[in-house]
């Protein structure tokens, strides 16, 4: 039932161990659910309790340690030998007297790994300050190193099998964005649009089903377009309003995010100008994507392109993405921003999202792309424009013509 | 646009400060998004970057510190003075050279709070080991204390206004469970059932809209009923299968979770026996809920009731719940389990979920309840039984009779 071949998991492990060797890490303790899944296949909604994947430089397979009731999920979804799946008793869960990391430390002692150089993901959500304290208490002879994003940097270049999953996610986001835009209309509640979006995201297509994206639909509208990470409410869309949708399709935890901006009725000149600027900058930045170019160079093209319009943007315009779990589909490695010298390579995948938000309006138009051998592949096929919804649905002919969103 | 009156937020702050005083904490640094929302109203999907609410024992209002682009969300959703909303620049986001906690430490220095006793939520997902290291580096003269769950323990007793939200969430979960059970049928993909569930959860009712639950629908089926925290797949339901749904309704971040087990076709005796045992134990445990009873006593009634059947369960049978964000709707305070001496009080709300899972089958039936002055209020009105779906839909008459799921 694993999502990839065992050979692929083994290959990922080899690459992880290469990085461990470079950084002098003998044992890597992984708490990031995406990294756990990437190396083992483990996939369950259990990251709300402490759990971990142990990679030892000289052992063939990782060890999974988690809550007792989740050991069966590990057996069902991972390629690990069942002997490598170690459950902890339930009284470790949210206890004030014992901590799952005490259990982990004891396992490391039992298997002779307690005096080694141990890498931990210090800035990962699921590695709390308390986790680290307990590990240090339990393993006084270990040397700890910060291995935040070590596996994430392995993940940044996707295999062809991963790209196929991301392409499926792109088919789902095309359909979902179409449904979302169709649902937005004067008098409709935001929550009802969100419901339609979810239905499209999760049902997927007839050929393959959707998975839950790591971020909920972000859908600021009206004055709230100045607040990019607000979710939905019971407010109704009204004529004259700008509405943003930032969504992803997700297939087996792989994402293809996209955002579009809709205007109900005739947009003002300032909204049109802002949209034109964003699109022009996005087009120019996508044009420059190819292997060998640095992330900061892509951002620079964006910045120079929009400079003449008088608009500016202080925040990054994109980030590496792929496999992930809540709360983020971003990979926390390369960003398209000033100072990021990461060199683009084939099969890196990014979400380029140059949104610009002011205090009372905002526009977002984004694309996810794969770096190819010679340039870039835009993952989703969707009209790259400010979508103006007047009385009749403006998208219908576009979709018919371009055969999108099927 | 706040979800509660300013008076209610002030009251919550008073209670939080009382606990701070008891524990000798002068400045409380809050990273749990539910605690941030509880005290300030702040509500956005921005917890994937570092952010914080500072409560000072001698200041009227908390201070919000977060990413620049999220400051507007704080202005729109919280009751804080705009001067108390402090954005950090975007180059702090996922940087390898600077950390948002450096920014927080500098703010604390600037406002004269750097030499105080500072409480941090050491075991909260959103307070990483790195956060704590950077704070300690930046504030060498502060004394740090572990304030994990300090605010959660204030949250455990709900106000009447909160109870109203939870009741709305219960209306949504009734509808959602009904839709989910109706959708499960031979030959239907799990993802298509999940899509219908989401649509029901998020659209809510005509009177009020739904919010996203902190946990996705958990829906193990067939052999996977042994894996309580697995999500859905593209597999199809088939006749003869046991299918579990664990869902919540959510209204303005307040939850009402529920689980039910469905059997497609005639269930085996072992599934029927297990379901009877779970229901008998659940009924007996709910019967004993009232103010003054300890959590462990409720669990003991469950354990004694099922003992005679030969079944047993090692894990806790429930937990306090209410306001929350991913990855958990549980509050991480009281659990219904051995050794938990928390005394039940009016307006505590729990999810009692005595699931029993074996290696190749499992049954879950749960209820969320509020402790009343004299006993307990079951939040959702839904048939408490193993739901057997034969050729005709068995729920239809039940729903008509009991007027549920409208």
The shortest CB-CB distance from B230 to any of A44, A194, A319 is to A44
Residue with token string 């309006």:
A361
User: pLDDT at position B393, please?
Assistant: 55
Spatial neighbors of B389 by CB under 8 A, at least 6 apart, are: B181, B184, B185, B262, B263, B264, B265
pLDDT tens-digit readout, B97-106: 999 999 999 9
Q: Which phi and psi angles does A111 have, rounded to 5°?
A: -100, 15
DSSP notation for A127-158? SBHHHHHHHHHH-TT-EEEE-TTHHHHHHTBP
How many C-beta atoms lie closer than 10 Å to residue A401's C-beta? 9
Strands B318-321 and B85-88: unpaired
Q: Are residues B150 and B173 in the same domain?
A: no
Residue with token string 């499209």:
A200
- Please identify, among A129, A155, A181, the residue that sits at the C-terminal boundary of a domain: A155
Q: Collapsing DSSP states into helix, strand and coil, what is residue A183? A: helix
pLDDT tens-digit readout, A154-204: 999 999 999 999 999 999 999 999 999 999 999 999 999 999 999 999 999
Q: Residues B18-45: what's their mean pLDDT?
A: 98
pLDDT tens-digit readout, B218-228: 999 988 888 88
Under the banding of pLDDT at 50, 70 and 90, the label for residue B392 is low
- Residue A131: give the domain boundaries: 6-155
Under the banding of pLDDT at 50, 70 and 90, the label for residue B313 is confident
Question: What is the rounded CA–CA span in Å between residue B207 and residue A94?
Answer: 37
How many C-beta atoms lie closer than 10 Å to residue A359's C-beta? 10
Q: What are the distances in angstroms from CA A173 to CA A247, A381, A393, B282?
A: 7, 9, 19, 42
Question: What is the rounded CA–CA span in Å between residue B171 and residue A348?
Answer: 45
Under the banding of pLDDT at 50, 70 and 90, the label for residue B402 is very low
The shortest CB-CB distance from B72 to any of A48, A227, A232 is to A227
- Please identify, among A138, A155, A172, the residue that sits at the C-terminal boundary of a domain: A155
Contact B209 A315 (CB under 8 A): no
Q: How many domains does chain A have?
A: 2
Whether A87 maps to a domain, the answer reads: yes
Q: How many angstroms separate the CA of residue B53 from the nearest CA in chain A?
A: 17
Question: What is the rounded CA–CA span in Å between residue B79 and residue B76?
Answer: 8
The answer to whether residues B328 and A48 touch, using CB atoms and an 8 Å cutoff, is yes
Q: Which residue of A has its CA nearest to B90?
A: A315
Q: Are residues B236 and B373 in the same domain?
A: yes
Whether B305 maps to a domain, the answer reads: yes
User: pLDDT at position A392, please?
Assistant: 54
pLDDT tens-digit readout, A204-239: 999 999 999 999 999 999 888 888 899 999 999 999
The shortest CB-CB distance from A44 to any of B126, B132, B227 is to B227
User: pLDDT at position A406, please?
Assistant: 34
Q: Are residues B257 and B293 in the same domain?
A: yes
Q: Residues B155-184: what's their mean pLDDT?
A: 98
Q: Are residues A285 and A172 in the same domain?
A: yes
Whether A398 maps to a domain, the answer reads: yes
User: pLDDT at position A404, please?
Assistant: 41
Mutation for A interface: B134, B327, B339, B361, most A CBs within 10 A: B327
What value does the mean pLDDT of chain B take? 94
Residue with token string 């006749």:
B239
- Token pair listed for A35: 């990294």
Q: Are residues B117 and B232 in the same domain?
A: no
Contact B72 A357 (CB under 8 A): yes
The shortest CB-CB distance from B198 to any of A72, A202, A229 is to A202
- Token pair listed for B192: 């298509």
Whether B35 maps to a domain, the answer reads: yes
Strands A63-67 and A85-88: parallel
User: pLDDT at position A123, please?
Assistant: 98
- Please identify, among A155, A186, A215, the residue that sits at the C-terminal boundary of a domain: A155
Q: Are residues A231 and A354 in the same domain?
A: yes
Q: What are the distances in angstroms from CA B49 to CA B27, B70, B123, B218?
A: 22, 10, 17, 26
Question: What is the rounded CA–CA span in Å between residue B74 and residue B78?
Answer: 5
Q: Are residues A165 and A285 in the same domain?
A: yes
Question: What is the rounded CA–CA span in Å between residue A387 and residue A367?
Answer: 15
The answer to whether residues A1 and A77 touch, using CB atoms and an 8 Å cutoff, is yes
pLDDT tens-digit readout, B234-290: 999 999 999 999 999 999 999 999 999 999 999 999 999 999 999 999 999 999 999
Q: Collapsing DSSP states into helix, strand and coil, what is residue A394? A: coil
Query: Contacts of residue A338 in chain B, CB cutoff 8 Å?
Result: 91
pLDDT at B405 over 50: no
Spatial neighbors of B117 by CB under 8 A, at least 6 apart, are: B24, B25, B26, B27, B142, B143, B144, B145
Contact B68 A315 (CB under 8 A): yes
Whether B1 maps to a domain, the answer reads: no
CATH, residue B235: 3.90.230.10
Contact B127 A129 (CB under 8 A): yes
Q: Which phi and psi angles does B304 have, rounded to 5°?
A: -65, -35
User: pLDDT at position B314, please?
Assistant: 82
Q: Collapsing DSSP states into helix, strand and coil, what is residue A294? A: strand
User: pLDDT at position B227, please?
Assistant: 85
Q: Residues B315-339: what's their mean pLDDT?
A: 97
Q: Are residues A143 and A172 in the same domain?
A: no
Q: Are residues A141 and A94 in the same domain?
A: yes
What is the Cα Rg of chain B in Å? 23
Q: How many angstroms separate the CA of residue A61 from the nearest CA in chain B?
A: 22
Whether B225 maps to a domain, the answer reads: yes
Whether A238 maps to a domain, the answer reads: yes
The shortest CB-CB distance from A209 to any of B189, B210, B339 is to B189
Question: What is the rounded CA–CA span in Å between residue B100 and residue A83?
Answer: 41
Contact B357 A94 (CB under 8 A): no
Q: Which residue of B has its CA nearest to A362?
A: B69
**SS in 3 state form for chain B?**
CCCCCHHHHHHHHHHHHHHHHHCCCCEEEECCHHHHHHHHCCCCCCCCCCCEEEEECCCCCCEEEEEHHHHHHHHHHCCCCHHHEEEECHHHCCCCCCCHHHHHHHHHHHCCCCCCEEEECCCCCCCEHHHHHHHHHHCCCCEEEECCCHHHHHHCECCHHHHHHHHHHHHHHHHHHHHHHHHCCCCCEHHHHHHHHHHHHHHCCCCCCCCCCCCCCECCEHHHHHCCCCCCCCCECCCCCEEEEEEEEEECCEEEEEEEEEEECCCCHHHHHHHHHHHHHHHHHHHCCCCCCEHHHHHHHHHHHHHCCCCCCCCCCEEEECECCCCCCEEEEEECCCCCCCECCCCEEEEECCCEECCCCEECCCEEEEECCCCEEECCCCCCCCEEECCCCCHHHHHHHHCCCC
User: pLDDT at position B226, please?
Assistant: 82
Per-residue pLDDT of chain A (406 residues), as tens digits, is 899 999 999 999 999 999 999 999 999 999 999 999 999 999 999 999 999 999 999 999 999 999 999 999 999 999 999 999 999 999 999 998 999 999 999 999 999 999 999 999 999 999 999 999 999 999 999 999 999 999 999 999 999 999 999 999 999 999 999 999 999 999 999 999 999 999 999 999 999 999 999 999 999 998 888 888 999 999 999 999 999 999 999 999 999 999 999 999 999 999 999 999 999 999 999 999 999 999 999 999 999 999 988 888 888 999 999 999 999 999 999 999 999 999 999 999 999 999 888 877 789 999 999 999 999 999 999 999 999 998 655 555 544 334 343 3
Contact B123 A129 (CB under 8 A): yes
CATH, residue A105: 3.40.350.10
Q: How many angstroms separate the CA of residue A359 from the nearest CA in chain B?
A: 7
Q: Residues B287-315: what's their mean pLDDT?
A: 94
Whether A1 maps to a domain, the answer reads: no
pLDDT tens-digit readout, B62-78: 999 999 999 999 999 99
Residue with token string 């048939």:
B383
Mutation for B interface: A225, A229, A351, most B CBs within 10 A: A229
Q: Are residues B109 and B183 in the same domain?
A: no
* Beta bridge mates, A362: A357
Q: Are residues A106 and A128 in the same domain?
A: yes
Contact A202 B191 (CB under 8 A): yes
Q: Which residue of A has its CA nearest to B77?
A: A230
- Token pair listed for B326: 């991913």
Q: Are residues A294 and A324 in the same domain?
A: yes
């Amino acid at each position: 039932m694993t999502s990839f071949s065992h050979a692929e998991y083994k290959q990922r492990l080899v690459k992880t161990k290469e990085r461990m060797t470079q950084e002098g890490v003998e044992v890597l303790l992984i708490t990031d659910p995406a990294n756990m899944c990437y190396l083992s296949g483990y996939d369950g909604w259990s990251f709300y309790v402490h759990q971990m994947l142990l990679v030892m430089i000289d052992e063939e397979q990782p060890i999974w340690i988690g809550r007792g009731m989740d050991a069966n999920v590990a057996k069902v979804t991972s390629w690990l030998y069942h002997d490598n799946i170690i459950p902890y008793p339930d009284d470790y869960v949210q206890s004030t007297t014992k901590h799952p990391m005490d259990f982990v430390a004891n396992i490391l002692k039992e298997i002779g790994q307690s005096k080694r150089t141990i890498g931990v993901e210090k800035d990962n959500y699921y590695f709390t300050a308390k986790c680290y304290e307990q590990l240090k208490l339990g393993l006084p002879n270990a040397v700890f190193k910060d291995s935040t994003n070590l596996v994430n940097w392995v993940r940044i270049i996707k295999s062809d099998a991963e790209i196929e999953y991301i392409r499926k996610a792109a088919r789902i986001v095309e359909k979902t964005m179409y449904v979302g835009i169709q649902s937005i209309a004067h008098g409709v509640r935001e929550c009802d649009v969100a419901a339609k979006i979810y239905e499209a995201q999760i049902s997927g297509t007839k050929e393959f089903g959707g998975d839950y994206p790591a971020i909920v639909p972000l859908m600021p509208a009206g004055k709230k377009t100045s607040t990019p990470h607000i979710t939905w409410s019971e407010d109704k869309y009204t004529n004259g309003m700008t509405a943003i949708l930032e969504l992803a399709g997700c297939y087996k935890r792989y994402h293809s995010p996209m955002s579009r901006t809709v205007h109900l009725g005739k947009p003002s000149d300032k909204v049109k100008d802002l949209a034109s600027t964003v699109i022009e900058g996005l087009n120019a930045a996508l044009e420059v994507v190819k292997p060998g170019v640095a992330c900061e160079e892509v951002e620079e093209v964006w910045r120079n392109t929009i400079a003449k319009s008088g608009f500016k943007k202080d925040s990054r315009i994109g980030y590496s993405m792929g496999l992930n779990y809540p709360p983020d589909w971003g990979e926390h490695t390369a960003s398209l921003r000033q100072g990021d010298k990461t060199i683009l390579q084939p099969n890196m995948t990014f979400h380029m999202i140059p949104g610009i938000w002011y205090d009372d309006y905002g526009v977002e138009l984004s694309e996810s792309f794969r770096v190819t051998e010679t340039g870039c592949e835009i993952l989703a096929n969707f009209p790259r424009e400010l979508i103006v919804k007047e009385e009749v649905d403006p998208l219908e002919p576009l979709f018919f013509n371009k055969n999108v969103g099927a």
